[in-house]
Amino acid sequence: MTTNSAFTLLELIVVIVILGILATLGFTQYSTVVESTRLAEAKTRIGNMRQLATEYYWKNGSMDGLLDEDLGVNNTCTSSHYFKYRQSHLSNMVSLNATRCTTAGKTPHATREYLYYFAYYPGAGASGWHCYYTDDNSPCFGLPQ
């Protein structure tokens, strides 16, 4: 009496399909984790911008007249950064922005542009991190828009 203990073709196909699904899910999660680690650059640079914005506020009493150059940024993608940086402001609030480069920045480029920013009120001390994808305004990395 002989027994056949080999896998059938159907069993092999099922295993390959399951492995494909797991690999796809794993790659998606991996890409998200890697991209979120690139936010460390933005947090560091925005921290420096925040310090310069605070100094500007205490010197001038408001954010009126604040320029990107005052914060050491110029809103262009460069080969040394994953993001381009700029600011926008009202008299008592400044938004310190990092937009992910999809071209011309440090490689690898993002496949989808998003805006990661810090809303900062120097006089009041209130602040908060925000993030959204620019193509559909959906939130990113679990942060509010």
Three-state helix/strand/coil letters over 31-51: HHHHHHHCHHHHHHHHHHHHH
Confirm if 129 and 36 have CB atoms less than 8 A apart.
no
Average pLDDT over residues 116-142: 87
Is 2 or 97 the better-scoring residue by pLDDT? 97
Q: Each residue of 22-53: pLDDT tens digit?
A: 887 777 777 777 787 888 999 999 999 999 99
Is 56 or 35 the better-scoring residue by pLDDT? 56
Say yes or no to pLDDT of 61 above 90.
no
Q: How far is CA 94 from each of CA 52, 73, 120, rounded to the nearest angstrom?
A: 11, 14, 5
Query: Would you state the pLDDT for residue 55?
Result: 92
Mean residue pLDDT across the chain = 87
Q: How far is CA 131 from the centre of its chain?
A: 7
Tell me the torsion sign for CA atoms 55, 56, 60, 63.
Answer: negative
Domain coordinates of the chain in residue numbers?
8-37, 39-133
